[in-house]
Amino acid sequence: MSVDLEEIQQQPQSEAFSNINKNLDKSRMNVSVILFSEDNRELNNAPIVVLPLTTKVNQLEKLYHSLLCNDLEDEQPPIQFRVMDKHEDGNWVEIINSLLDSLPMECLITEKPIELFCLPQAVFRVRPVTRCAASLPGHGEPLISVQFSPDGSTLASGSGDKTVRIWDTKSLLPKQTLIGHQHWVLCIAWSNDGNKIASACKQGIILIWEYENKTSEFRLFRKLTGHKQWINALSWRPLHFEASSRLIASAGRDSTIRIWDIITSNTLFVLSGHTASVTALRWSGNDLIYSGSHDRTIKVWRAVDGVLCRTLEGHAHWINTLATNVDYVLRLGSFSPEEDSKGNQTSLKIKPEEVHINKIAQKKARIQYDKVLTNQPERLVSGSDDFTVRNFLFLWEPAIKKVPIARLTGHQQLINQVQFSPDGRTIASASFDKSIKLWDGRTGKFQVSLRGHVGPVYQIAWSCDSRLLVSGSADSTLKVWNIQKRRLELDLPGHGDEVFAVDWSPNSECVASGGKDKALKLWKR
C-alpha cells in the first residue's frame, strides 16, 4: 500500500499562492516536509518528502498512514497536522485545508524541512450499537430528556411525570427516583465533575441534586427560584475554570438568562437583553455565555460580570439550537474516553473537601480543552426556524467577530438540533424535513444529506470517535450513520412512538433513547 506522491505533485497550483509573496519563485511551490509523531519522534524514520503547497489534509493523512503501513481499506482515525510558529511565542498552527492555506511565512521561505507534527484524533474505534439491551419502564409520562454522566456510568432521564430517574448503565437497572418538581421536567444537565445534576421544570424552578459518597445516592441540595416562566436550557460553568461546579446558567421563556451560585442559592446576574424567549444556551470554554432567542438574535455575555459583549444578527426567525466545537470536551470535564478504554480512568465522584483532587481534575480539564482548540477560536453554529426556504444555519467565531463565517442553507423545514462532532471537523443538523445534513466544521461547506427517516428528526448524538452518529425521529426509530462512508449503518426499531431524546455515552458503551411511549431504552453493541 502506498501513496501516489507523483499524483499529488501534479495538482494545479493555487492562484492564491501569488498573493502570499510575489517574490517567491516557482521552486517554492513545493516544500520539504518531515513527519513527527505526537511525542516528537520521527515517524518510522520518515524520509524527507517534497510536497506541493496545494497538498490537502486528506492527502497528508494518506501519507501518514502509508508511512505507518496502515491499511487504508480499514477506517482510520482522522489526523490533525500542525507546525510550530516560532514568531508567535511558539504557538501551534493547525493545517486546516492545505499547506498553502495554513503554513506560517517562515515555513515558506526557509530551506530547511518543515517539521509537521501528527496527532491522531481518535486512537480507538467505537463499534456501533446493534441491539436493545434493555427497555426500562418506570416513567409515567413521555421522556423529554436523557443525559449520561461525564464518565458514562450513570444516566439521568427527565419526564412529564415530574421526576428525574437515575439509571446504572452497566447493570441496566434503576438506581434512584428524584422527586421534587411539581411540573414537567424539561431539561437536565450533569455538572462537569459528575457530582451534581441540575433539573428544570415548566414551573421555572431549578433543583440541584448532589451525589453523596456516604449513601451512594443523590440528595436534593438546592432549590433555585427566580424565573417567571419555564426554563428551556441549563449550562454549567466549565470545570477548567472552577473545580467545585458552583456556577450554573439558565435560560427561560421569560426572556432572561440567570447565573446562579448554587452554594448560596443566589442569582449573581440577570442577563436581560433579549426581548423574547431564550431557547438555547452555551457556557463556553473561554468563559463567555452564548444565548439564542426567539427574538432572532444570539447574544454573547461575559460570565464574570454579566456584561453584554456583542449581538450576532442574521437569522430571519426563531433560533432553536446552538452548538460549539468544544461542547464535547467541556462535557467530559476531566474524563478521558481514551484512558477509560485502557482502564486508567479514576472515579469522578469525589468529596468536596478533597481540594487537591479537585485541582488535579481542573488542570486535566484545561489540558484537554486546550488540546482541542490548538490556538484556534471557538466556533458556534446556530439553527433557526423560518417556515420558508430560508431555514438557515450560521457558523460564527463569536468571541472575536460579529459577522458569520458562513451561512449554511439546504434544510427545507425547521432545524431541531445541531451538533459538532467531538473532533470539531463536522457539523450535523437534524430537521423536520426528515433529513440529517453534514457540513464542514471549519468552513460550513455542505457535505451530504443523510436520508432514511420517514418522520421529523428530533435529536442526534455523536460517538466519541466522531465516526458514528445516532438519530431519533418521529417515525419511532433510531438510526446509526457511518460518517466516513456517509451511509446508514443500522436501523434500530423498537420504540412504540416518537423518539424525543437520544444520547450517546461519553465512553461510547451505549446509547439511550426515550420518547412518547414512556420507555427508556438502552442500546449496546
Domains and CATH numbers, the chain: 5-120 (3.10.20.90), 131-524 (2.130.10.10)
Return the minimum-mean-pLDDT range out of 25-34, 122-131, 365-374. Answer: 25-34
What percent of the chain is predicted at pLDDT more than 90? 65
CA distance 416 to 256: 22
Mean pLDDT of 12-40: 55
Which pLDDT does position 357 carry in this prediction?
73
User: What one-letter code names the amino acid at 27?
Assistant: S
In this predicted model, which residue has the larger pLDDT, 291 or 110? 291
**Neighbour count for residue 149 (Cβ, 10 Å):** 26
**The predicted structure's pLDDT at residue 347:** 46
For the cut 60, the answer to whether the pLDDT of residue 13 exceeds it is no
Q: Which residue has the cell 461525564?
A: 150
pLDDT band at 48 (very low <50, low <70, confident <90, very high): confident
Distances (CA, A) of 400 to 97, 132, 379, 492: 21, 45, 10, 42
Highest mean pLDDT among 42-46, 69-73, 306-310: 306-310
Residue 17 pLDDT > 50: no
DSSP assignment of 258-315: EEEETTTTEEEEEE---SS-EEEEEE-TTSEEEEEETTS-EEEEETTT--EEEEE---
**Mean pLDDT on 131-136:** 96
Residue 105: its pLDDT value, please? 79
Task: Say if CB 206 and CB 221 are below 8 A apart.
Answer: no
Alpha-carbon distance of 519 to 350, in angstroms, equals 31
Residue 116 C-alpha cell reads as 509537521
The mean predicted confidence, pLDDT, of the chain is 87
- pLDDT for 103 beyond 80: yes
pLDDT grade for 342, boundaries at 50, 70 and 90: low
**Alpha-carbon gap, residue 524 to 454, rounded angstroms:** 24
Closest by CA to 224, choosing from 171, 180, 276, is 180
SS3 content of the chain, % helix, strand, coil (to 5): 10, 40, 45
What's the pTM?
Answer: 0.83
| Residue range 388-420, pLDDT digits in tens | 435 679 999 999 999 999 999 999 999 999 999
Statement: residue 349 has pLDDT above 70: no
- pLDDT band at 470, cuts 50/70/90? very high
pLDDT (0 to 100) of residue 328: 97
pLDDT score recorded for residue 282: 98
Of 10-19, 68-77, 369-378, 441-450, the one with minimum mean pLDDT is 10-19
What element of type H or E holds 66?
A: helix 57-67
Question: Which is it for strands 266-271 and 91-94: parallel, antiparallel or unpaired?
Answer: unpaired
Q: How confident is the model at residue 109 (pLDDT cuts 50, 70, 90)?
A: confident
